[in-house]
Amino acid sequence: MPRAFPLDAPAHPVKTARMSSATLTIDLDAIAANWRALDAMTGTETAAVVKADAYGLGADRVGRVLARAGARHFFVAIAEEGVALRQALGPDVAIHVFSGHMPGDADMIGDMDLVPMINSLDQMIRHAEALPGHPFGVQLDSGMNRLGMEPEEWQAVRQIALAQNPVMLMSHLACADEPDQAMNAQQLAAFRAMTDDTDVPRCFANTGGVLLGGDYHFDLARPGIGIYGGRPYTDARPVVTLDIPVIQCRDIALGETVGYGCDFTAPRAMRIATVAAGYADGILRAMGPKTSLWAEDTPCPVTGRISMDLIGVDITDLGRDPSHLQLLGPHQGIDVLADNAGTIGYEILTSLGARYMRRYIGG
Ligand SMILES: *Cc1c(COP(=O)(O)O)cnc(C)c1O
Protein backbone atom coordinates (compact mmCIF):
# COMPACT_ATOMS: atom_id res chain seq x y z
CA MET A 1 0.00 0.00 0.00
CA PRO A 2 1.43 3.38 -0.90
CA ARG A 3 1.71 5.68 2.09
CA ALA A 4 -0.67 8.59 2.18
CA PHE A 5 2.22 10.86 3.21
CA PRO A 6 5.36 9.32 1.73
CA LEU A 7 8.40 9.93 3.92
CA ASP A 8 10.50 10.59 0.85
CA ALA A 9 8.26 13.33 -0.47
CA PRO A 10 10.20 16.27 -1.84
CA ALA A 11 10.93 19.01 0.67
CA HIS A 12 8.76 22.08 0.44
CA PRO A 13 10.14 24.57 -2.04
CA VAL A 14 12.43 27.06 -0.32
CA LYS A 15 10.23 29.96 -1.29
CA THR A 16 7.28 28.64 0.68
CA ALA A 17 9.43 27.95 3.72
CA ARG A 18 10.83 31.44 3.64
CA MET A 19 7.48 33.10 3.49
CA SER A 20 6.12 31.18 6.47
CA SER A 21 9.06 31.67 8.80
CA ALA A 22 10.27 34.86 10.38
CA THR A 23 13.26 36.59 8.81
CA LEU A 24 16.27 37.58 10.90
CA THR A 25 18.36 40.11 9.00
CA ILE A 26 21.95 40.54 10.16
CA ASP A 27 23.76 43.66 8.97
CA LEU A 28 27.41 42.72 8.44
CA ASP A 29 28.34 46.31 7.56
CA ALA A 30 27.01 47.46 10.94
CA ILE A 31 29.06 44.73 12.64
CA ALA A 32 32.22 45.87 10.84
CA ALA A 33 31.47 49.54 11.58
CA ASN A 34 30.93 48.83 15.29
CA TRP A 35 34.21 46.92 15.52
CA ARG A 36 36.07 49.72 13.70
CA ALA A 37 34.55 52.34 16.00
CA LEU A 38 35.55 50.39 19.12
CA ASP A 39 39.00 49.84 17.63
CA ALA A 40 39.32 53.59 17.05
CA MET A 41 38.60 54.24 20.76
CA THR A 42 41.72 52.36 21.79
CA GLY A 43 45.27 53.25 20.95
CA THR A 44 46.00 49.55 20.84
CA GLU A 45 45.03 46.51 18.86
CA THR A 46 41.46 45.24 19.06
CA ALA A 47 40.32 41.64 18.96
CA ALA A 48 36.77 40.32 18.54
CA VAL A 49 34.93 37.98 20.89
CA VAL A 50 32.91 35.56 18.76
CA LYS A 51 31.98 32.93 21.35
CA ALA A 52 28.56 31.26 21.26
CA ASP A 53 28.45 31.48 17.45
CA ALA A 54 29.23 35.20 17.54
CA TYR A 55 26.54 35.88 20.14
CA GLY A 56 24.09 33.88 18.05
CA LEU A 57 24.68 35.74 14.79
CA GLY A 58 26.91 33.22 12.97
CA ALA A 59 30.62 33.00 13.80
CA ASP A 60 31.67 32.13 10.25
CA ARG A 61 30.00 35.10 8.54
CA VAL A 62 30.74 37.49 11.38
CA GLY A 63 34.32 36.24 11.66
CA ARG A 64 34.98 36.72 7.98
CA VAL A 65 33.62 40.26 7.89
CA LEU A 66 35.65 41.21 10.97
CA ALA A 67 38.81 39.68 9.54
CA ARG A 68 38.25 41.76 6.40
CA ALA A 69 37.75 44.83 8.60
CA GLY A 70 41.17 44.18 10.11
CA ALA A 71 40.65 41.97 13.19
CA ARG A 72 43.60 39.62 13.67
CA HIS A 73 42.70 38.19 17.09
CA PHE A 74 39.55 36.29 17.95
CA PHE A 75 38.29 34.81 21.21
CA VAL A 76 35.97 31.82 21.63
CA ALA A 77 34.67 30.02 24.73
CA ILE A 78 35.62 26.42 23.93
CA ALA A 79 38.00 24.61 21.59
CA GLU A 80 35.21 23.26 19.37
CA GLU A 81 34.21 26.84 18.53
CA GLY A 82 37.84 27.53 17.69
CA VAL A 83 37.92 24.62 15.25
CA ALA A 84 34.86 25.92 13.39
CA LEU A 85 36.27 29.44 13.32
CA ARG A 86 39.63 28.24 11.99
CA GLN A 87 37.83 26.46 9.18
CA ALA A 88 35.97 29.68 8.34
CA LEU A 89 38.92 32.07 8.61
CA GLY A 90 41.96 30.10 7.51
CA PRO A 91 45.46 30.28 8.99
CA ASP A 92 46.16 34.02 9.23
CA VAL A 93 44.37 34.96 12.47
CA ALA A 94 45.01 34.10 16.13
CA ILE A 95 42.19 32.21 17.86
CA HIS A 96 42.17 32.25 21.66
CA VAL A 97 40.12 29.91 23.85
CA PHE A 98 38.80 31.23 27.19
CA SER A 99 38.25 27.77 28.73
CA GLY A 100 41.95 27.07 28.32
CA HIS A 101 43.21 23.54 27.77
CA MET A 102 40.53 21.06 28.83
CA PRO A 103 40.96 17.26 28.90
CA GLY A 104 40.65 15.97 25.33
CA ASP A 105 41.40 19.35 23.70
CA ALA A 106 45.02 18.69 22.70
CA ASP A 107 44.32 17.51 19.16
CA MET A 108 42.01 20.44 18.40
CA ILE A 109 44.41 22.95 19.92
CA GLY A 110 47.38 21.46 18.09
CA ASP A 111 45.83 20.71 14.70
CA MET A 112 43.86 23.95 14.48
CA ASP A 113 46.54 26.18 15.97
CA LEU A 114 44.39 27.47 18.83
CA VAL A 115 45.78 29.46 21.75
CA PRO A 116 44.38 28.23 25.08
CA MET A 117 44.07 30.81 27.86
CA ILE A 118 45.47 28.62 30.65
CA ASN A 119 43.34 28.93 33.80
CA SER A 120 45.15 26.85 36.41
CA LEU A 121 48.32 24.98 37.24
CA ASP A 122 46.56 21.75 36.21
CA GLN A 123 45.86 23.20 32.77
CA MET A 124 49.40 24.45 32.46
CA ILE A 125 50.80 20.99 33.16
CA ARG A 126 48.30 19.35 30.79
CA HIS A 127 49.25 21.80 28.05
CA ALA A 128 53.01 21.49 28.53
CA GLU A 129 52.81 17.68 28.53
CA ALA A 130 50.49 17.33 25.54
CA LEU A 131 51.81 20.12 23.32
CA PRO A 132 55.27 21.23 24.44
CA GLY A 133 56.21 24.54 22.84
CA HIS A 134 52.67 25.24 21.59
CA PRO A 135 51.59 28.86 22.18
CA PHE A 136 49.36 29.63 25.17
CA GLY A 137 48.14 32.59 27.17
CA VAL A 138 47.43 32.82 30.88
CA GLN A 139 44.16 33.93 32.39
CA LEU A 140 44.42 35.62 35.78
CA ASP A 141 41.64 36.21 38.28
CA SER A 142 41.61 39.87 39.31
CA GLY A 143 38.48 39.51 41.45
CA MET A 144 35.61 38.13 39.40
CA ASN A 145 36.17 34.61 40.76
CA ARG A 146 35.11 32.91 37.56
CA LEU A 147 38.15 31.81 35.55
CA GLY A 148 41.88 32.25 35.87
CA MET A 149 44.67 31.84 38.38
CA GLU A 150 44.31 33.53 41.74
CA PRO A 151 47.08 35.95 42.73
CA GLU A 152 48.66 33.38 45.11
CA GLU A 153 48.57 30.61 42.49
CA TRP A 154 50.07 32.95 39.93
CA GLN A 155 52.75 33.99 42.38
CA ALA A 156 53.69 30.34 42.84
CA VAL A 157 53.86 29.39 39.15
CA ARG A 158 54.65 32.63 37.35
CA GLN A 159 58.35 31.99 37.00
CA ILE A 160 57.76 28.61 35.34
CA ALA A 161 54.95 30.04 33.24
CA LEU A 162 56.90 33.08 32.07
CA ALA A 163 59.87 30.86 31.16
CA GLN A 164 57.60 29.21 28.57
CA ASN A 165 56.84 32.55 26.90
CA PRO A 166 53.07 32.95 27.14
CA VAL A 167 51.74 35.06 24.27
CA MET A 168 49.35 36.97 26.50
CA LEU A 169 48.22 37.64 30.07
CA MET A 170 44.54 38.40 30.43
CA SER A 171 41.88 39.03 33.03
CA HIS A 172 38.18 39.89 32.91
CA LEU A 173 36.15 42.70 34.47
CA ALA A 174 33.02 41.85 36.46
CA CYS A 175 31.34 45.29 36.32
CA ALA A 176 32.78 47.06 33.28
CA ASP A 177 29.32 48.23 32.18
CA GLU A 178 29.01 50.24 35.43
CA PRO A 179 31.66 52.98 35.19
CA ASP A 180 31.09 54.11 38.79
CA GLN A 181 31.64 50.68 40.32
CA ALA A 182 34.66 50.64 42.62
CA MET A 183 35.28 47.05 41.49
CA ASN A 184 36.69 48.31 38.18
CA ALA A 185 39.61 50.17 39.73
CA GLN A 186 40.16 47.33 42.21
CA GLN A 187 40.42 44.79 39.42
CA LEU A 188 42.67 47.08 37.40
CA ALA A 189 45.02 47.39 40.39
CA ALA A 190 44.96 43.62 40.99
CA PHE A 191 45.70 42.89 37.31
CA ARG A 192 48.53 45.39 37.26
CA ALA A 193 50.01 43.99 40.47
CA MET A 194 50.09 40.55 38.85
CA THR A 195 51.51 41.69 35.50
CA ASP A 196 53.33 45.06 35.70
CA ASP A 197 56.76 43.51 36.05
CA THR A 198 56.39 41.26 33.00
CA ASP A 199 56.82 42.22 29.35
CA VAL A 200 54.11 39.87 28.12
CA PRO A 201 51.33 41.55 26.08
CA ARG A 202 48.24 42.18 28.22
CA CYS A 203 44.54 41.91 27.42
CA PHE A 204 41.91 43.21 29.84
CA ALA A 205 39.03 45.21 28.31
CA ASN A 206 35.72 43.84 27.11
CA THR A 207 33.26 46.33 25.56
CA GLY A 208 32.67 48.04 28.88
CA GLY A 209 36.40 48.12 29.52
CA VAL A 210 37.01 49.87 26.20
CA LEU A 211 34.53 52.54 27.27
CA LEU A 212 36.21 52.92 30.68
CA GLY A 213 39.20 54.56 29.00
CA GLY A 214 42.87 54.18 28.24
CA ASP A 215 43.96 52.78 31.62
CA TYR A 216 41.96 49.67 30.82
CA HIS A 217 43.11 49.08 27.24
CA PHE A 218 46.61 47.59 27.61
CA ASP A 219 47.93 45.86 24.45
CA LEU A 220 44.82 44.15 23.11
CA ALA A 221 41.16 44.98 23.73
CA ARG A 222 38.54 42.26 23.27
CA PRO A 223 35.01 43.62 22.88
CA GLY A 224 32.03 41.39 22.17
CA ILE A 225 28.55 42.84 22.74
CA GLY A 226 29.43 46.29 21.37
CA ILE A 227 30.28 44.75 18.00
CA TYR A 228 26.79 43.27 17.93
CA GLY A 229 25.06 46.54 18.73
CA GLY A 230 24.36 46.12 22.45
CA ARG A 231 24.78 48.08 25.68
CA PRO A 232 26.96 49.40 27.16
CA TYR A 233 28.10 50.64 23.72
CA THR A 234 25.02 52.82 23.23
CA ASP A 235 26.40 54.52 20.10
CA ALA A 236 26.58 51.19 18.27
CA ARG A 237 24.84 50.73 14.96
CA PRO A 238 21.94 48.28 15.35
CA VAL A 239 22.77 44.94 13.79
CA VAL A 240 19.64 42.76 13.81
CA THR A 241 16.15 43.13 12.34
CA LEU A 242 13.41 40.57 12.92
CA ASP A 243 10.30 40.45 10.73
CA ILE A 244 7.56 37.97 11.59
CA PRO A 245 4.79 36.99 9.16
CA VAL A 246 1.14 37.32 10.16
CA ILE A 247 -0.70 34.02 9.81
CA GLN A 248 -4.24 35.14 10.57
CA CYS A 249 -6.24 38.19 11.70
CA ARG A 250 -9.55 38.09 13.59
CA ASP A 251 -12.07 40.35 15.29
CA ILE A 252 -12.85 39.79 18.96
CA ALA A 253 -15.64 41.33 21.06
CA LEU A 254 -15.36 43.13 24.38
CA GLY A 255 -14.79 40.54 27.11
CA GLU A 256 -13.28 37.82 24.90
CA THR A 257 -9.85 36.52 25.84
CA VAL A 258 -6.69 35.82 23.85
CA GLY A 259 -4.25 32.94 24.26
CA TYR A 260 -3.27 30.48 27.00
CA GLY A 261 -4.60 31.01 30.49
CA CYS A 262 -7.04 33.66 29.23
CA ASP A 263 -4.50 36.19 30.50
CA PHE A 264 -5.74 38.96 28.23
CA THR A 265 -9.35 40.11 28.22
CA ALA A 266 -10.42 42.55 25.51
CA PRO A 267 -11.48 45.90 27.03
CA ARG A 268 -13.28 46.75 23.77
CA ALA A 269 -13.93 45.28 20.35
CA MET A 270 -10.51 44.56 18.87
CA ARG A 271 -8.66 43.08 15.92
CA ILE A 272 -5.94 40.56 16.71
CA ALA A 273 -3.14 39.37 14.41
CA THR A 274 -1.45 36.03 15.13
CA VAL A 275 2.21 35.99 14.08
CA ALA A 276 4.46 33.00 13.33
CA ALA A 277 7.08 33.02 16.10
CA GLY A 278 7.19 32.41 19.82
CA TYR A 279 9.32 31.49 22.77
CA ALA A 280 10.81 28.54 20.88
CA ASP A 281 12.38 31.20 18.67
CA GLY A 282 13.92 33.03 21.60
CA ILE A 283 11.10 35.52 22.08
CA LEU A 284 11.14 35.21 25.85
CA ARG A 285 7.70 34.85 27.45
CA ALA A 286 8.65 37.38 30.11
CA MET A 287 8.85 40.22 27.56
CA GLY A 288 5.20 39.84 26.51
CA PRO A 289 3.40 42.29 28.80
CA LYS A 290 5.71 45.22 27.94
CA THR A 291 6.41 44.53 24.28
CA SER A 292 4.93 45.73 21.01
CA LEU A 293 5.56 44.60 17.47
CA TRP A 294 5.76 47.30 14.87
CA ALA A 295 3.90 47.86 11.61
CA GLU A 296 6.24 50.43 10.12
CA ASP A 297 5.86 53.31 12.62
CA THR A 298 2.85 51.96 14.53
CA PRO A 299 3.39 49.94 17.72
CA CYS A 300 1.06 46.96 18.10
CA PRO A 301 1.05 45.53 21.65
CA VAL A 302 1.43 41.83 22.38
CA THR A 303 -1.90 40.48 23.65
CA GLY A 304 -1.97 37.47 25.95
CA ARG A 305 0.86 35.06 26.61
CA ILE A 306 3.60 34.42 24.11
CA SER A 307 3.23 30.78 23.04
CA MET A 308 5.83 28.40 21.67
CA ASP A 309 5.30 29.29 17.99
CA LEU A 310 2.72 32.07 18.02
CA ILE A 311 2.04 35.51 19.43
CA GLY A 312 -1.22 37.47 19.47
CA VAL A 313 -0.85 41.14 18.59
CA ASP A 314 -3.33 44.00 18.91
CA ILE A 315 -3.71 45.62 15.48
CA THR A 316 -6.98 47.40 16.28
CA ASP A 317 -5.58 50.90 15.84
CA LEU A 318 -3.58 50.03 12.76
CA GLY A 319 -6.66 50.06 10.55
CA ARG A 320 -5.37 47.36 8.19
CA ASP A 321 -4.16 43.76 8.27
CA PRO A 322 -0.37 43.71 7.96
CA SER A 323 1.47 40.91 6.13
CA HIS A 324 4.19 40.92 8.78
CA LEU A 325 5.18 42.72 11.98
CA GLN A 326 8.61 43.71 13.21
CA LEU A 327 9.96 42.74 16.64
CA LEU A 328 13.53 44.03 16.22
CA GLY A 329 14.26 47.04 14.07
CA PRO A 330 14.70 50.80 14.09
CA HIS A 331 11.98 51.31 16.72
CA GLN A 332 13.05 48.62 19.11
CA GLY A 333 16.50 47.09 19.60
CA ILE A 334 17.84 44.20 21.64
CA ASP A 335 18.22 46.30 24.80
CA VAL A 336 14.55 47.37 24.76
CA LEU A 337 13.48 43.73 24.55
CA ALA A 338 16.02 42.89 27.26
CA ASP A 339 14.54 45.52 29.57
CA ASN A 340 11.02 44.30 28.79
CA ALA A 341 12.02 40.74 29.73
CA GLY A 342 14.16 41.67 32.74
CA THR A 343 17.34 40.43 31.11
CA ILE A 344 20.32 41.69 29.08
CA GLY A 345 20.89 42.16 25.34
CA TYR A 346 23.41 39.30 25.39
CA GLU A 347 20.63 36.86 26.30
CA ILE A 348 18.25 38.27 23.69
CA LEU A 349 20.89 37.78 20.97
CA THR A 350 22.07 34.33 22.02
CA SER A 351 18.47 33.15 22.33
CA LEU A 352 17.57 34.07 18.74
CA GLY A 353 16.15 30.90 17.30
CA ALA A 354 17.32 28.36 14.75
CA ARG A 355 13.98 28.50 12.93
CA TYR A 356 14.41 31.97 11.46
CA MET A 357 15.34 32.46 7.86
CA ARG A 358 18.67 34.20 8.35
CA ARG A 359 19.55 36.85 5.83
CA TYR A 360 22.91 38.58 5.82
CA ILE A 361 23.20 42.02 4.26
CA GLY A 362 26.35 44.03 3.54
CA GLY A 363 29.81 42.63 4.01
C1 LIG B 1 32.29 37.42 26.77
C2 LIG B 1 33.62 37.89 27.20
C3 LIG B 1 34.17 39.07 26.67
C4 LIG B 1 33.37 40.03 25.82
O5 LIG B 1 32.57 40.79 26.70
P6 LIG B 1 31.53 41.89 26.16
O7 LIG B 1 30.91 42.41 27.40
O8 LIG B 1 30.56 41.14 25.31
O9 LIG B 1 32.29 42.89 25.40
C10 LIG B 1 35.48 39.38 27.01
N11 LIG B 1 36.19 38.58 27.82
C12 LIG B 1 35.70 37.45 28.37
C13 LIG B 1 36.55 36.61 29.26
C14 LIG B 1 34.39 37.07 28.09
O15 LIG B 1 33.88 35.95 28.63
The pLDDT tens digits of the residues spanning 287-337 come to 999 999 999 999 999 999 999 999 999 999 999 999 999 999 999 999 999
- Please tell me if the CB atom of residue 223 comes closer than 6 angstroms to any atom of ligand 1: yes
Across residues 62-86, what is the average pLDDT? Answer: 98
Out of 8-22, 127-141, 231-245, least confident range: 8-22
- Residue 16's pLDDT is 37
List where CATH 2.40.37.10 sits in the chain.
Answer: 14-23+237-361
- Per residue in 136-153, pLDDT (tens digit) is 999 999 999 999 999 999
**For the segment 247-298, what is each residue's pLDDT rounded down to a tens digit?**
999 999 999 999 999 999 999 999 999 999 999 999 999 999 999 999 999 9
- pLDDT tens-digit profile of 190-227? 999 999 999 999 999 999 999 999 999 999 999 999 99
Residue whose CB lies within 8 A of the most ligand 1 atoms, among 73, 76, 96, 98, for a mutation test: 98
Whether residue 360 lies in the annotated active site: no
- 5-19, 54-68, 212-226, 339-353: least confidently modelled range: 5-19
Span from the CA of 299 to the centroid of ligand 1 (angstroms): 33
Q: Which CATH superfamily is domain 14-23+237-361 in?
A: Lyase, Ornithine Decarboxylase; Chain A, domain 1 (2.40.37.10)
pLDDT value at residue 18: 45
* CATH 3.20.20.10, the chain: domain bounds: 28-228
DSSP per-residue string spanning 24-88: EEEEHHHHHHHHHHHHHHSSSEE-EE-HHHHHTT-HHHHHHHHHHHT--EEEESSHHHHHHHHHH
**pLDDT greater than 70 at residue 12:** no
Instruction: Report the atom number in ligand 1 closest to the C-alpha of 209.
Output: 9
CA distance 148 to 120: 6
Q: Using alpha carbons, select from 113, 27, 44, 37 the residue that is nearest to residue 69.
A: 37
Is 290 annotated in the active site? no
Q: Where is the binding site, in residues?
A: 146, 308
Domain 28-228 annotated CATH 3.40.50.12780: no
Listed residue (306, 305, 277, 362) closest to 21, CA to CA:
277
